[in-house]
Structure 1
Amino acid sequence: MKPTYKQVTKTRYIEQISQLAEEIFVQHYTKLTPKVARALAEKYQSDILTDDEIHSGTVNYFMIYLGSDPVGYFALDLTPTGAMCLSRLFLLEKARGQGIGRSIVAYAQKLAEGDGRSRLYLRVWAKDLKAEGFCKKCRFRKSETVPMEVLPGVTLEITTWEKLWR
C-alpha cells in the first residue's frame, strides 16, 4: 500500500502527533529506558511545541497514513538558507521497512528543489544503526557528529547527514 501525507494544521492532528511520538520514541530508542524515551517525546514533540513550530510558519508537519491508519509523521524545517531540514521522520515499528521513509526523502527533495534549495539534511542519533543504514540507502553522506545534551544529564552523539544536488 502506498503511503499518503496530510499536512497538519488542526489541533486534533497536533495532539495525534504527540501521542504517536510517545509510542514511537519508546519503540525506536530501545537503547534508552522507556522513561527517558517518553521524556524525549514530551520535550521535543509535545503538542505545545509542535503547535508553536507550525504557527511560526517555518516548520511544516505531515501525518503519514497507510490507508486510513496513521503510522507516523515528518516535519520539514524551512528556515535554513539554501537548504531544507527533514527535522522529524518517525514511523511506527509496523510501518518500517516498506519504503515509506525513502518516499518521504524523495518528496522532501522534490519540494526543496522546487523551492530553489540545493541541500537536504537530517540529524540522527549516532548509535542508531538502522537510521544510518537508511541515510546511506537514500544517498545521504555523513557530515558531522557532535554531542548534544537532549535532556538534563543525557547527552547523545547526533550525526548530520546531507544530500546535495547542485
Structure 2
Amino acid sequence: MNPTFKQVTKSRYVSLVSELAQEIFVQHYTKLTPKVAAALAEKYQSDILTDDEIHSGVINYFLVYLGSEPVGYFALDLGPAGAMCLSRIFLKEKARGQGIGRSIAAYAQKLAEGDGRSRLYIKFWAKDLKAEGFCKKCRFRKAEVVPMEVLDGVTLDIATYEKLWR
C-alpha cells in the first residue's frame, strides 16, 4: 500500500501530530529512557509549538497515512534560502521498512524543486544508524555533525545529510 500525505492545517490534525510524537518518540529513541523520550516529544512536538510553527509560515507539517490510518508525520522547513529541510520524519514502528521514508524524501525533493530550491537536507541524532542508512539509500551525503543541547543537561550530536541538484 502506498502512503498518502496530508498537510496539517487544522487544530485536530495538530493534536494528532502531538499524539503520534508521544508514541513514536518512545519507540524511536530507544537509547534514551522512555521518560526522556517523552520529554523530547513534549518539548519539540507539543500542540502549541507545532501550531506556532505552522502559523509562522516557515514550517509545513504533513501526516502520513497508510489507507485511513495515520502512521507518522514529517515537516518541511521552508526557511533556508535555496534549500528545504526535511526536519522531521517520524513513523510508527509497524510502518518502518516499507519504503515510506523514501516516498517522503522523493515527495519533499519534488516540492523543493517545484519551489526553485536546489538543496534538500535532513538532520537527526548522529547515533541513529537507521536514519543514516535511510539517508544513504536516498542518496543524501553527510555534511556535518554538531552537538546540540536538546533538553537541559542533555546534549546530542546532530548529523546533517544533504542532497543537491542542478
TM over 0.5: yes
For 1:19-70, what per-residue CA distance to the aligned partner results, in whole angstroms no more than 9, with x for missing partners? 1001000000000000000000000000000000001111111100000000
1:94 aligns with 2:94: yes
What is the correspondence of 1:15-30 to structure 2 with a 5 Å cutoff? 15-30=15-30
For 1:101-133, what per-residue CA distance to the aligned partner results, in whole angstroms no more than 9, with x for missing partners? 000100000110111100000101000000000
* CA apart distance, 1:74: 0.5
Corresponding residue of 1:157: 157
Instruction: Give distance in 2, aligned partners of 1:84 and 1:51.
Output: 19
Percent identical residues: 83
TM-score, normalised to structure 1's length?
0.99
Corresponding residue of 2:124: 124
Gaps of 5+ in 1: none
Instruction: Give distance in 2, aligned partners of 1:114 and 1:12.
Output: 29
Corresponding residue of 1:79: 79
SS in 1 for 2:31: coil
1:57 aligns with 2:81: no
TM-score, normalised to structure 2's length?
0.99
SS in 1 for 2:39: helix
Q: Which amino acid aligns with 1:133?
A: G
Gaps of 5+ in 2: none
* CA apart distance, 1:157: 0.4
For 1:59-93, what per-residue CA distance to the aligned partner results, in whole angstroms no more than 9, with x for missing partners? 11110000000000011110000000001110000
Q: Which amino acid aligns with 1:143?
A: A
Q: Which amino acid aligns with 1:47?
A: D
Instruction: Give distance in 2, aligned partners of 1:109 and 1:63.
Output: 17
Please provide the CA RMSD for this pair.
0.4
Instruction: Give distance in 1, aligned partners of 2:5 and 2:112.
Output: 17
What is the correspondence of 1:94-113 to structure 2 with a 5 Å cutoff? 94-113=94-113
SS in 2 for 1:90: strand
Instruction: Give distance in 1, aligned partners of 2:62 and 2:99.
Output: 17
TM superposition outliers: structure 1 runs of 4+ over 2 Å = none
Instruction: Give distance in 2, aligned partners of 1:128 and 1:4.
Output: 25
Count of residues paired in the alignment: 166
